[in-house]
Amino acid sequence: MTDWYHLFSDRPSEYAAIIYRRFLERLNTYAGDKTNEEYLRQQALRYLLPSIHLLKSPFAFPGMVEAVDLLRATVAAGEKRIVIYGDRDADGVTSASLLHLFFREQLKIGSADLVTLVPREEDKYGITPGVAARIIAEKPTLLITLDCGSSNKAELATIAAQTGCKTIIVDHHFIPESPADYPQVEAFINPKLLPEPDFARDYCTAAITLRLVQGILFSYSREYHEAIGLKTATAQVVIRDGIIDQQTDFSACARQYVLGIDAGDSSTSHDLLKIFEHTARENYDMRRMFLAYQKMPTAISPLEVFNAVQSASFRKSHTILSQYLPLAAIGLVADLMPVYADNRILVREGLNVMARAQDTLPMGLLALLKKLNLAGSVAEQDLGFSVCPAINAAGRMGNATLALKALTETDPLEATKAAFALTQINAARKEASQSSLDLLEEALDSRSHDAPLAVALHDNFHRGISGLIASKIAERFSKPALVLVPDGECYRGSVRAFRNENVHGLIDALAEHLIQYGGHRQAAGFSVAKEKLSAFIDAIFEIAPQIFAAVEADAAAEGIDPFRNFHPPLEIESKHMRTPLWDELLLHAPYGVLNPHPVVALKKPGKVEVANLGKTGAHAKIKFTAPADSNIEGVWFFHNGEANNAAGSEDLEISGEPQIGKFMGRMQYRLKITRVEGIKK
Ligand SMILES: [Mn+2]
């Protein structure tokens, strides 16, 4: 197989190479027999060179052209009323905020022509009849549903019949099995409509929404819908809107490019290689791409070269797009999407914008980052630990509107107030999670201990955070967890995977017991009538061993969790624990699901010195006596009193995640300790 690693790497290094290889192994497990040499080439290229210019064309999504054309026609119309409806969680709210801000700021759609809605406390997931009534009351001419709508054929038909509106669905939830059950709308964008293993299938809604915005921006260029011919030594293709057009004749292209062959003296043919080289002079990513192409022309396909060169030339649209990138990154991290391919590029770019160009950020997001002490210094870990939970908290506590307001506010003072309210509601959410978890012993179904999943039910669980409780239980028991909470005449439930178990498949197999359900492979929600509850729970325990058998076998065979945890850790001697090593270990960031954050195990750390961090003493700062580089310090969160026992111990086995970030206002290299063994009690 081709050694992509040395072809694309600027700074090949031993540890970074291991991290890359492990990513490829996980990807193989994940995509399974659907991978092939071409798929792996595309993955390797994007992993080692995660440039925004390597994003595939937004028009590769089915429904994108229809959505863009419909939006443009609506914007041009004199009389219009656009209604955006986004789901309550961070992905839904960031999607709604992103599109709302883009319409207001860039397309100059006035407030009278644009209404953005999110669920109220009592609304269940999706376009329920109640939600449909709210939308109808707004008299839309165009409805855009974000992070929902894929399974709402009937409700969307009712809305269209009563208002005459046209509809665009932007969603990534499971689609109905039969195309006959697809909603009959003007544009249906859902990556699940793409064939496997297309890696765009793992987009979340906020990321697709960003690509929709990119598509709209592109549609105002003269290249939109233009047929462009591209000729290489071995083939000639027609490209339209960044994708291969099979229908159009090559000779019908007014503009033509050649790549790797002589352009001749034709006045209509341009030398793409020359333009590529020129672009490489002004753009770091393009330079790396060009160097790799020079070394091995098969490393980057002609279509990728064409799209990258074109993308790099659209400077103005990049400036506009980049301010919305952080919202897409938040949606991706909040929805725990696999961090590879386009997703990883978007998270990386989003983090870059947040860290380096905070003046360009939406006012509301900037206010929130300031409130969280993260302005100008957001690191990868901060998104998952601080930003996403704060945005999610509003919807979970029944006030998604608050998150929408915080993210779309354009007045600095109001934005600050909204950000404050968001952090307050997040504090209330934390309290509710803790008091719910305190009930776990009473709530846990005793069959959970011997079953491949845990089931918990309690009348005093907080209703809005059942998903969160399920995640915590899954972590605690290292297996999938299902949580049930009373909700009026029925029970509402959430189920979360621990690894890559197909929890949606479990719920799907139990559909006969349920009123409604929906979700993804790793997270699903449902509701069940009170009188059917006990039969439903019996059925779960009966069927779960079958559903999860395959995953259990995989896990047993490998002894590792291929998706979330970096295992086994990289062993390093403490004398090598220096800041350049930290840079090396973080070379392939951003990390996340499918590309987990590397974990190191320190050998011979010497004596440790322990100092408490913060007021409560829940966290500790650890200094190692052996390593020469005192710039790296250990931080042990929630050590449960263990840190004090570790003080003065020698040669403990310490594992943790290397992190670089601005902590308490200064740049720091640190080891976030996750495991300590060998403490004498
Ligand atoms: Mn989502």
Q: Does position 261 have pLDDT exceeding 50, yes or no?
A: yes
In the reported structure, the alpha carbon of residue 93 is separated from the centroid of ligand 1 by a whole-number distance in angstroms of 9
In the reported structure, the alpha carbon of residue 301 is separated from the centroid of ligand 1 by a whole-number distance in angstroms of 31
In the reported structure, the alpha carbon of residue 454 is separated from the centroid of ligand 1 by a whole-number distance in angstroms of 24
* Model pLDDT, residue 262: 84
Specify the amino acid at residue 88.
R
* Model pLDDT, residue 643: 80
Ramachandran bin of 318, using left for φ above 0, alpha for ψ from -120 to 50, beta for the remaining angles: alpha
In the reported structure, the alpha carbon of residue 172 is separated from the centroid of ligand 1 by a whole-number distance in angstroms of 6
Q: What are residue 264's DSSP bridge partners?
A: none
- CATH architecture of residue range(s) 438-558: Roll (3.10)
Mean pLDDT of 564-570: 85
Topology adopted by domain 570-677: OB fold (Dihydrolipoamide Acetyltransferase, E2P) (2.40.50)
In the reported structure, the alpha carbon of residue 205 is separated from the centroid of ligand 1 by a whole-number distance in angstroms of 5
* Model pLDDT, residue 148: 96
Distances (CA, A) of 495 to 17, 153, 215, 459, 518: 36, 25, 35, 17, 11
Mean pLDDT of 329-341: 94
Mean pLDDT of 404-411: 97
In the reported structure, the alpha carbon of residue 260 is separated from the centroid of ligand 1 by a whole-number distance in angstroms of 42
Output the DSSP codes for 269-300: EEEHHHHHHHHHHH-HHHHHHHHHHHH-GGGS
In the reported structure, the alpha carbon of residue 140 is separated from the centroid of ligand 1 by a whole-number distance in angstroms of 24
Q: Does position 208 have pLDDT exceeding 90, yes or no?
A: yes
Q: What is the pTM of this model?
A: 0.92
* Model pLDDT, residue 550: 65
444-494 tens-digit pLDDT:
999 999 999 999 999 999 888 899 999 999 988 989 999 999 988 899 999
Distances (CA, A) of 648 to 611, 642, 677: 12, 12, 14
Measured distance CA(485)–CA(462) in Å, rounded: 7
In the reported structure, the alpha carbon of residue 38 is separated from the centroid of ligand 1 by a whole-number distance in angstroms of 29
Q: Does position 81 have pLDDT exceeding 70, yes or no?
A: yes
- Read off the tokens for 212: 């929709």
For residue 356, give the nearest of 387, 381, 325 by alpha carbon. Answer: 325
Distances (CA, A) of 387 to 344, 380, 392, 563, 604: 18, 10, 9, 22, 36
Domain pair 438-558 / 570-677, same fold: no
- Read off the tokens for 252: 């019908």
In the reported structure, the alpha carbon of residue 79 is separated from the centroid of ligand 1 by a whole-number distance in angstroms of 31
Topology adopted by domain 58-219: inorganic pyrophosphatase (n-terminal core) (3.90.1640)
**455 in Cβ contact with 484 (< 8 Å):** yes
In the reported structure, the alpha carbon of residue 499 is separated from the centroid of ligand 1 by a whole-number distance in angstroms of 18
In the reported structure, the alpha carbon of residue 131 is separated from the centroid of ligand 1 by a whole-number distance in angstroms of 18
Q: Does position 213 have pLDDT exceeding 80, yes or no?
A: yes
In the reported structure, the alpha carbon of residue 648 is separated from the centroid of ligand 1 by a whole-number distance in angstroms of 47
90 CA to centre of own chain:
10
Q: Among residues of the chain, what percentage have pLDDT more than 90?
A: 69
76 pLDDT band (50/70/90 cuts)? very high
99-125 tens-digit pLDDT:
999 999 999 999 999 999 999 988 888
* Model pLDDT, residue 58: 96
Q: 370 or 618: whose pLDDT is higher?
A: 370
Q: Does position 1 have pLDDT exceeding 70, yes or no?
A: no
In the reported structure, the alpha carbon of residue 246 is separated from the centroid of ligand 1 by a whole-number distance in angstroms of 33
677 pLDDT band (50/70/90 cuts)? confident
In the reported structure, the alpha carbon of residue 589 is separated from the centroid of ligand 1 by a whole-number distance in angstroms of 22
For residue 330, give the nearest of 368, 370, 371 by alpha carbon. Answer: 368
Q: Does position 200 have pLDDT exceeding 60, yes or no?
A: yes
In the reported structure, the alpha carbon of residue 538 is separated from the centroid of ligand 1 by a whole-number distance in angstroms of 30
681 pLDDT band (50/70/90 cuts)? low
Per DSSP, helices labelled H in 479-518 are 503-509
36 pLDDT band (50/70/90 cuts)? confident
In the reported structure, the alpha carbon of residue 87 is separated from the centroid of ligand 1 by a whole-number distance in angstroms of 8
Q: Does position 172 have pLDDT exceeding 80, yes or no?
A: yes
In the reported structure, the alpha carbon of residue 189 is separated from the centroid of ligand 1 by a whole-number distance in angstroms of 13
* Model pLDDT, residue 560: 45
48 pLDDT band (50/70/90 cuts)? very high
| DSSP for residue 677 | E
Mean pLDDT of 304-315: 96
Structural domain boundaries of the chain? 1-49, 58-219, 227-312, 438-558, 570-677
In the reported structure, the alpha carbon of residue 332 is separated from the centroid of ligand 1 by a whole-number distance in angstroms of 8
